[in-house]
Copies of this chain bind each other. A is one copy, B any other.
Amino acid sequence: MTEFAPDPALRAKTRIQRENEEKILDAALEVFSAEGFRGSTIDRIAQEAGMSKPNLLYYFRSKEEIYRAVLDATLDGWLDPLRRMDPAGEPLEEIRAYLRRKLEMSRENPRASRLFANEVIRGAPLIVEELTGALKALVDEKAAVIEGWIAAGRLAPVDPRHLLFAIWATTQHYADFQVQVQAVLSADAGAAIDGAQGFLDTLFLRALAPG
């Protein structure tokens, strides 16, 4: 009786495979977020991941495959803060909580923010479908929620989509333009975000308070 030997392509990943793929994705995020797709090299990523270039290419067949993988992995969690905006919640409190979550993402994972910024600035060639598809759909859904709040007199009348743009822009600014923020404030990134929190609460909650 022969031993059970599944097709290698279907076999679950080994521990070492998982670890190396993770190391590569982390290294790729580091490099791609700083230099964009075309400005990054496999060599830099391999170096950052602590392995040789051919070894890296054993796990991912090409530079673009690495890029897509890190972009997908990051995209996955990117929309969560907005998804969690609760139609049943208190409007101003929901806005405040959303601001918090976005600001925390700029604090905890500024590289993800910069990765997207780079991708979108160059025209988002690899994620246009997500933008016109999943993103637009989610924005439409939440815009309707916000419009409902406005119609109920629980929020001052504003354009909900431009409101979301403003929240994205102001919170992601602390990740994407980190060095500029630090230069102007002579403060580290964490302190800058601490300061931003109070300011953004004031800005948005004052403007959105009904009546």
Contact = CB atoms under 8 A, between A and B. Distances in A.
A153 to B, nearest CB: 16
A45 to B, nearest CB: 14
Residue among A120, A159, A162 with the most chain B CB within 10 A? A162
Interface string A91-134: 00000000000000000000000100110111110001001100
Copies of this protein chain in the complex: 2
Contact of A124 (B156, B166, B172, B180): B180
A124 B128 CA distance: 27
Given A35-B38, A162-B196, A196-B165, A121 B184 contact: no
A166 B128 CA distance: 26
B168 A173 contact: yes
A52 to B, nearest CB: 22
Interface of A: 33-40, 114, 117-118, 120-124, 128, 131-132, 135-136, 139, 156, 158-159, 161-163, 165-166, 168-170, 172-174, 176-177, 179-181, 183-186, 195-196, 198-200, 202-204, 206-207
15 contacts: A38-B38, A39-B39, A120-B179, A121-B177, A128-B183, A131-B179, A131-B180, A161-B185, A163-B203, A165-B174, A166-B173, A166-B199, A166-B200, A170-B170, A203-B203
